[in-house]
């Protein structure tokens, strides 16, 4: 298997993409507060990170995804053109 380096997935990030996605999953799906996520990482994984660091990671992923959304949106055919063709 080949995996992309984390530096390519999230430039200048202190934590990996998988950890950011996992914490977002805990926060948005289960409603766990960011401070409690930080505590879980600290106790279970012995991973020291601040609440601000988790939020910064989420913001970085949001920036990358919104850029990808813009690129994909420009590359697709607008819906009104699809309706005219039918």
Which tens digits make up the pLDDT trace of 17-40?
A: 888 889 989 998 999 999 999 999
Query: By 3-state DSSP, what share of the chain in percent is helix, strand and coil, each rounded to 5?
Result: 70, 0, 30
> What's the predicted TM-score (pTM) here?
0.65
- pLDDT band for position 81 (cuts 50, 70, 90): low
CB 79 within 8 A of CB 85: no
- Across 50-59, average pLDDT: 88
Tokens of 18: 């998988």
pLDDT at 86: 52
Check residue 14 and report its DSSP letter. S
- Extents of the domains making up the chain: 6-85
């Amino acid at each position: 298997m080949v995996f992309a380096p984390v530096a390519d997935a999230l430039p200048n990030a202190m934590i990996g993409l998988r950890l950011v996605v996992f914490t977002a999953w805990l926060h948005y799906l289960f409603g766990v507060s960011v401070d409690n996520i930080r505590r879980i990482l600290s106790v279970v994984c012995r991973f020291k990170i601040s609440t601000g660091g988790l939020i910064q990671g989420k913001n970085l992923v949001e920036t990358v995804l919104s850029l990808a959304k813009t690129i994909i949106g420009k590359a697709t055919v607008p819906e009104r053109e699809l309706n005219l063709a039918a």
